[in-house]
Structure 1
């Protein structure tokens, strides 16, 4: 199938606007990554000093864990730094070490968005769903079941399905080797925090957010971006959705301008921190009225999972 229809930037922006919007900064991406880790660190300190704040810390940290993925996503478009080597190094070592595998997968999503060849179509195609179904998904996310399924269920499945003569321990070793960065990184983090006498901080304010809030906000992000968008949508202004995010939504659901997804799909060359500026220009010129837009995440979820 041919690639999804695209827009031409000069139909929406002046040359000066486009040059400013697509400018690759030498510091803004690095600042965003530093900000993300600083928020995580500050939330851990608050939770350690005042344990009653741990539930809030879980929410804040889980959202910033998504933020690290969002910034890695920007790096997949070479938007995190103007030097490609620095862009990739920062994404791999300071965000999430999945850039090499993620980039070709994600660029295929952009090329064939909402078409049969879109590898992310499976995430949006089931919607709308029943509200009871969404409630079950939310429970699986918050109870850690989604995390287990994504991280470890394939190991148990492969061991159960092993052919005659294969060793379960050998298969386990092979699967663990695939996730060695995740396992080794968390083992080192736990060891360092334990040496400082704060092993429980690592468990409650790094692993727990990763097991609970991160899967939930990742699901909400996926729903917001493409759910209820028509398959094979011919209008590039309506192939993805932008969702209005208040300061609270940005803090606990949508970090680093990830809510401007329609603009991102229309203009993939724009770094994430310039998406609000692009949105303002499009709004000024009346373009946003033709785009796929939603007033907020609560309203979007109500449409994605309507009451019976």
Structure 2
């Protein structure tokens, strides 16, 4: 007879100790690696200066920006360094401010998400009303790719604003003045807008939208209890390069153990999936390309299924 386990805490103490081990060197190294890749992509695209290269570079750059946001997410959980001051400094300066947001307000809203996942107290869930049909989702995702969701993105940025100390405010002003000065000195405003700002408000917006759908959306997921109210996507190579780096698609493992840093998340997922209850009940999707297939095709089908459990959508 299989040993009964608690789905909210399925791992042994020994396993959990191993997976929650934090390495400051590894955490900061991953961030620096992202910047090295970004520098290579931007320099290469600017040097070749061909429209086809720009079309390829923009999604690759956006995915590295996404990787930085994933590191910010880790920092929000204290997973970059055991030293809180260093953890928060790195999280703000290297991962949040370059994206025009702050980590601390994100930490507050994200902790609410973990505490009240898929309820009306969940700030993420309030924005992501489902069910949705494939036809509605495709239109919304196309809107993101064309940069037409920029107003929604500004609203999200505004949500991540909160009062901060005069010291932090002064440091942020100094950061942006320094950034603007460097860009002006080298005369690269055009490249900055094309190869940093444009990816941020197009492909990255698309990525974050896809991720928000994948992590918790779908009528049956919204009705399930934790931890079965989330979805894990096993990423393809395409997904890793263009959508989901740093093991971020193993969302169920993260929802159970938020203190597991990204570099341990895949192994943590594999350990969790050894338990029979997770093999039976966990929602595992093979690649993001299969995600839309899990939703009704048309709005007519949505109404026929009578999923009026939540109404409205920011996507429609």
Distance 1:85 1:45 in 2: 33
The answer as to 2:231 corresponding to 1:241 is yes
1:229/1:240 contact within 8 Å kept: no
Tell me the residue number matched to 1:215.
205
The answer as to 2:102 corresponding to 1:112 is no
Distance 2:211 2:263 in 1: 17
The answer as to 2:117 corresponding to 1:137 is no
Match of residue 99, structure 1, among 88, 98, 103: 103
Tell me the residue number matched to 1:256.
246
Report the secondary structure of 1:294's partner residue: strand
Q: Shift of residue 231 of structure 1?
A: 6.7
Cα distance change, pair 216–264 in 1 and its aligned pair in 2 (3 A): same
Q: Shift of residue 44 of structure 1?
A: 0.3
CA RMSD of aligned residues (A): 2.8
The answer as to 2:157 corresponding to 1:151 is no
Q: Shift of residue 149 of structure 1?
A: 4.0
Tell me the residue number matched to 1:297.
288
1:193-219 Cα deviation digits (max 9, x unpaired):
343243322121111111211111110
Cα distance change, pair 233–27 in 1 and its aligned pair in 2 (3 A): farther
Cα distance change, pair 233–257 in 1 and its aligned pair in 2 (3 A): same
Tell me the residue number matched to 1:83.
83
What is the 5 A alignment of 1:38-53? 38-52=36-50, 53=53
1:223-279 Cα deviation digits (max 9, x unpaired):
110110547645323121110101220111012111011110011121111110111
The answer as to 2:122 corresponding to 1:124 is no
Distance 2:28 2:186 in 1: 28
Report the secondary structure of 2:212's partner residue: helix
Q: Shift of residue 188 of structure 1?
A: 4.9
1:242/1:293 contact within 8 Å kept: yes
Gaps of 5+ in 2: 1-5, 159-168, 300-316
Distance 1:196 1:144 in 2: 27
